[in-house]
């Protein structure tokens, strides 16, 4: 036991939210223990070495909100910039809009001036699956057809996940909308914004918002577990907590190669996806969304990998079964030691940052 009411393991979006809410609304003392040398979790951004340009060290984060409650909550700690989340895919040397929209369908099917009706008819004739999709391959074949699946999803997904879309839940490829209009933005969320001073500044402000919150970094809680007198919230990888007692949960990681380019812009939008034979999946030029002005730019190429920090839980049948067995252990741990698991890693859920904050607020409200 520590002298703190609450111990939070991990200083990312979930940990910062639980800590801030508990200090502010309950007056609890909170210790946040972070394994890395910084807070903000995988949202961490900083100036790229030798430049004053922000980069997202663990991959891009395009903040969007489904509801105003979470948006208003985070808005207490930051000003916002409008989001500018435009993504294209490189296909045969050309850039096509991603998500699929009418222009994508025209470029890939060799058509012009498609309407919603004519595009639907075209794809209907190419559908490779009918019925209720049981996996991501069936989902895309049933909505966009064979040609778009083969061109935009098949190899990209194999690279990203190390397996075919056939062995992933429909929700994985279903994250990206398929459109019959000309909307070029990556997500359908009604609110799309970037924190004006970056994500690290946002989560750092949350953690500094109360003198009741102490933060220690460079400390692996698993080596020296201390518990809060009221609760402990663990936001690290669920299987790490249990020393992978039931076997490791499948995770997917990323390796990043960053380059400073001596040119104002490298590509026309923040993200270009590579659904072909290249060993990487995407190139991100985050300056498009941070809106910094500079004659230079930073470009980050992503190489998916099985080794490295866990970024993605793998939504698939076998991981769901193993995860369920870990959930049973987690429930016992809650009863024995008051440990509650949260966040993308602690709950083994493929969620976005707004969803992590939303569920952290719910979790914090349940603590007593
Ligand atoms: O060109 C493509 C694009 C996607 N897929 C398949 O869809 C899966 C989901 O894609 P996406 O949502 O783009 O995946 P990711 O989570 O890596 O990226 C988004 O999430 C945020 C951020 O990481 C969290 O804030 C970022 O904003 C988005 O880019 C993908 O895994 C593929 O299987 C495809 O095949 N081809």
Q: Is residue 261 part of a domain?
A: no
pLDDT tens digit sequence for 39-79: 999 999 999 999 999 999 999 999 999 999 999 999 999 99
Q: What is the per-residue pLDDT across 279-306, written as a single tens digit (0 to 9) for each? A: 999 999 999 999 999 999 999 999 999 9
Q: Report, as an integer, the average pLDDT of 127-155.
A: 98
pLDDT in tens, 82-109: 998 999 999 999 999 999 999 999 999 9
Give the pLDDT of residue 2. Answer: 79
In the chain the beta strands, taken as DSSP E runs, fall at: 6-9, 30-33, 45-47, 54-56, 64-65, 80-82, 87-91, 94-98, 191-195, 213-216, 231-234, 251-261, 271-273, 282-284, 297-305, 312-313, 339-341
Q: Are residues 318 and 223 part of one domain?
A: yes
Percentage of the chain surpassing pLDDT 90?
99
Mutational pocket test of ligand 1: of 101, 160, 274, the residue with most ligand atoms within 8 Å of the beta carbon = 160
CATH number at residue 195: 3.40.50.720
What whole-number distance in Å separates Cα of residue 201 and Cα of residue 46?
A: 9
Say whether pLDDT at 332 is over 80. Answer: yes
This complex has an ipTM of 0.96
Domain for residue 362, yes or no? yes
Residue-averaged pLDDT of the chain? 98
Over range 302-324, report the average pLDDT: 97
CA of 172 to the centre of ligand 1 (A): 8
Choose the residue to mutate in 95, 167, 173 for probing ligand 1, maximizing ligand atoms within 8 Å of C-beta: 173
Cα(176) to ligand 1 centroid in Å equals: 7
Q: How far is the CA of 31 from the centre of ligand 1 (A)?
A: 33
Distance 156 CA to ligand 1 centre (A): 10
46 alpha carbon – ligand 1 mean position (Å): 22
Nearest-CA residue for atom 8 of ligand 1: 173
Rounded distance from Cα 78 to ligand 1 centre (Å): 26
Task: Please state the rounded mean pLDDT for residues 317-324.
Answer: 96
Are residues 119 and 21 part of one domain? no
**Residues 157 and 19 grouped into a single domain:** no
Say if residue 15 is in the same domain as residue 70: yes
Return the ligand 1 atom nearest residue 98 CA.
1
The answer as to whether 88 is a domain residue is no
Q: Which residue in the block uniquely carries the two structure tokens 């590579």?
A: 274
Question: Residue 156 CA: which ligand 1 atom is closest?
Answer: 35
Q: What is the pLDDT of residue 175?
A: 97
Strand, coil or helix: what is 166?
helix
Residues 23 and 74 in one domain: yes
**What CA–CA distance (Å, rounded) separates 329 from 348?**
14
User: Is the same domain home to 124 and 240?
Assistant: no
Same domain, 243 and 350: yes
pLDDT class of 272 with cuts at 50, 70, 90: very high
Average pLDDT over residues 253-258: 98
Q: What tens digit of pLDDT does each residue of 163-212 get?
A: 999 999 999 999 999 999 999 999 999 999 999 999 999 999 999 999 99
For residue 318, give both structure tokens.
């076998």
* Domain span including residue 123: 102-174
Same domain, 198 and 169: no
Q: Are 106 and 242 part of one and the same domain?
A: no
Q: What would the pLDDT profile of 349-359 be if each residue is shown by its tens digit?
A: 999 999 999 99
Is 181 a domain residue? no
Q: Which of 169, 170, 176 is the best mutation target for the ligand 1 pocket, counting ligand atoms within 8 Å of the beta carbon and taking the most?
A: 176
For 159, 184, 339, 359, the CA distances from 99, given in Å and listed in that order, are: 18, 7, 40, 27
Phi, psi for 56 (deg, rounded to 5): -95, 105
> Is the same domain home to 25 and 170?
no
Domain annotation covers residue 279: no
User: Which residue has its alpha carbon closest to ligand 1 atom 34?
Assistant: 153
Q: Does 203 reside within a domain?
A: yes
User: CATH no. for residue 121?
Assistant: 1.10.3110
Q: Which atom of ligand 1 is nearest to the CA of 152?
A: 36
Show the ligand 1 pocket: residues with CB < 6 angstroms: 59-62, 89, 98, 152-153, 156-157, 160, 172-173, 175-176, 273, 275, 352-353
What's the whole-number mean pLDDT along residues 315-337?
97
1 pLDDT exceeds 90? no
Instruction: Provide the number of structural domains found in the chain.
Output: 2
Q: How far is CA 227 from CA 19, 176, 336, in A?
A: 14, 40, 12
Kindly give the number of the ligand 1 atom that is closest to the alpha carbon of 312.
16
Domain boundary among 146, 174, 202: 174
Q: Which atom of ligand 1 approaches the CA of 136 most closely?
A: 33
- Going from the Cα of 135 to the center of ligand 1, the distance in angstroms, rounded, reads 16
**Within this chain, do residues 196 and 134 fall inside the same structural domain, yes or no?**
no
Q: Is residue 219 part of a domain?
A: yes
pLDDT digits (tens, 9 = 90+) for 22-43: 999 999 999 999 999 999 999 9
Rounded Cα–Cα distance for residues 281 and 305 (Å) = 11
Residue 209 in any domain: the answer is: yes
Residue 304 CA to residue 327 CA, distance in Å, equals 27
Domain end among 110, 141, 174 = 174
Domain boundary among 149, 174, 199: 174
């Amino acid at each position: 036991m520590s002298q703190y009411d609450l111990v939070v393991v991990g200083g990312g979006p979930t940990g910062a939210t639980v800590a801030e809410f508990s200090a502010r609304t309950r007056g609890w003392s909170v210790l946040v223990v972070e394994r890395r040398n910084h807070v903000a979790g995988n949202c961490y951004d900083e100036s790229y070495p030798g430049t004053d340009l922000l980069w997202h060290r663990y991959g891009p984060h395009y903040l969007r909100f489904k509801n105003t409650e979470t948006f208003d909550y985070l808005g207490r700690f930051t000003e916002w910039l409008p989001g500018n989340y435009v993504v294209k895919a490189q296909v045969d040397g050309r850039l096509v809009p991603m998500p699929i929209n009418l222009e994508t369908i025209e470029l890939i099917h060799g058509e012009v001036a498609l309407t919603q009706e004519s595009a639907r008819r075209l794809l209907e004739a190419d559908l490779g699956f009918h019925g209720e999709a049981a996996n991501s391959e069936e989902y895309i074949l049933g909505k966009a057809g064979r040609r778009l699946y083969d061109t935009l999803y098949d190899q990209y997904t194999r690279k990203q996940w190390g397996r075919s879309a056939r062995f992933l839940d429909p929700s994985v490829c279903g994250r990206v909308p398929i459109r019959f209009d000309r909307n070029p933005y990556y997500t359908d969320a009604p609110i799309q914004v970037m924190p004006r001073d970056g994500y690290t500044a946002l989560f750092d402000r949350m953690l500094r918002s109360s003198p009741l919150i102490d933060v220690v970094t460079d400390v692996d809680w698993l080596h020296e577990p201390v518990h809060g007198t009221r609760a402990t919230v663990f936001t690290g990888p669920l299987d790490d907590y249990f020393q992978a007692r039931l076997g490791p949960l499948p995770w997917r990681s990323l390796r990043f190669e960053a380059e400073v380019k001596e040119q104002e812009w490298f590509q026309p939008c923040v993200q270009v996806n590579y659904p072909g034979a290249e060993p990487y999946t995407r190139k991100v030029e985050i300056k498009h969304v941070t809106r910094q002005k500079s004659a230079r730019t930073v470009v980050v190429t992503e190489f998916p990998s099985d080794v490295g920090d866990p970024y993605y839980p793998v939504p698939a049948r076998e991981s769901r079964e193993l995860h369920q067995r870990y959930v049973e252990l987690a429930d016992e741990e809650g009863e024995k030691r008051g440990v509650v698991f949260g966040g993308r890693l602690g709950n083994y859920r493929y969620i976005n940052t707004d969803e992590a904050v939303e569920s952290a607020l719910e979790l914090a409200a349940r603590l007593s």
